[in-house]
Amino acid sequence: MNAVRTAPAGASDPSAAGTPRFVLEATDLHKAFGSTAALDGASLSVAAGEVLAVMGSSGSGKSTLLHCLAGIVQPDRGRVTYAGRELSSLPDSGRSALRRGDFGFIFQFGQLVPELSCVENVALPLRLSGTKRRPAEAQAMTWLERLEVSDVAAKTPGRISGGQGQRVAVARALVTGPRVIFADEPTGALDSLNGERVMQLLVAAARETGAAVVLVTHEARVAAYSDREVVVRDGRTRDLDPAS
């Protein structure tokens, strides 16, 4: 593994005029499901271009935190601010629009649409935002080539390997040019070799485009690709020293 921690792009000069220090911030988040508290005062911030690993054991609240950051779940208390806007102040349609354009998502099992070809899967976020089929698929092919899976473009997800499918999922997350990519255990269903390659390609693409990545994982080898690590335990967050 050749993971190298570097200063996050866009975060080197927080005093630059007109440049916000953080693209995404969560402050004192509380969220309960019934009598179970998933988040109990969690806070974190993500700089533009930063790769942030959110670590924790199963049930620690890390996935709930990611869902709150992405506007999928509303916290009971606390606030999430994206590019200076509080997500709770946006209507459902506004949060949905962010998830179609400004946010990209990568899940543990890809969650590709089985009836669509791989190129159609990657083009789907563009099509949902109104882009016509040919330009959307041309842009999708560009990303499939960059993720080294252009050869599976015409195949459906059921006819490709898990590693290929996850690269297609990464291409789909990047195709809209998002400012933030949310990756929830993106290598959890892969063997170590495929997992390493997916992480290398994801981080390289994020560095190139300037996107921030919020990476939820319980694996130290995956977190090693990040600029900074935050641990979630019992619904609370704690920053780790990146030099440790």
Residue pLDDT, tens place only, 73-87:
999 999 999 988 999
Residue 140: predicted pLDDT: 97
Q: Please report, as a single letter, which amino acid is at residue 77.
A: R
How far is residue 227's CA from residue 229's CA, in Å, rounded to a whole number? 7
Collapsing DSSP states into helix, strand and coil, what is residue 28?
Answer: strand
Kind plus residue range of the DSSP H or E element containing 99: helix 92-100
The conformational region for residue 61 under phi > 0 = left, psi -120 to 50 = alpha, else beta, is left
Give me the architecture of the 24-240 domain, per CATH. 3-Layer(aba) Sandwich (3.40)
168's tokens: 């297609």
pTM for the whole structure: 0.86
pLDDT lower than 50: segments of the chain: 1-18, 243-244
Identify which of 145, 99, 89, 141 has the alpha carbon closest to the alpha carbon of residue 117.
Answer: 141
Residue 109: predicted pLDDT: 78
Separation of first and last alpha carbons in the chain:
18
pLDDT tens digit sequence for 37-50:
999 999 999 999 99
* Phi, psi at 77, each rounded to 5°: -145, 160
Tell whether the torsion through CA atoms of 56, 235, 109 and 167 is positive or negative. Answer: negative
How far is residue 151's CA from residue 165's CA, in Å, rounded to a whole number? 12
Q: Please report, as a single letter, which amino acid is at residue 241.
A: D
**How is the chain split into domains, by residue range?**
24-240
Residue 8: predicted pLDDT: 43
Strand ranges (E), 121-179: none
Residue with tokens 């485009």: 209
Collapsing DSSP states into helix, strand and coil, what is residue 91?
Answer: coil
Residue 241: predicted pLDDT: 61
How far is residue 168's CA from residue 165's CA, in Å, rounded to a whole number? 5
Residue 110: predicted pLDDT: 73
How far is residue 127's CA from residue 140's CA, in Å, rounded to a whole number? 11
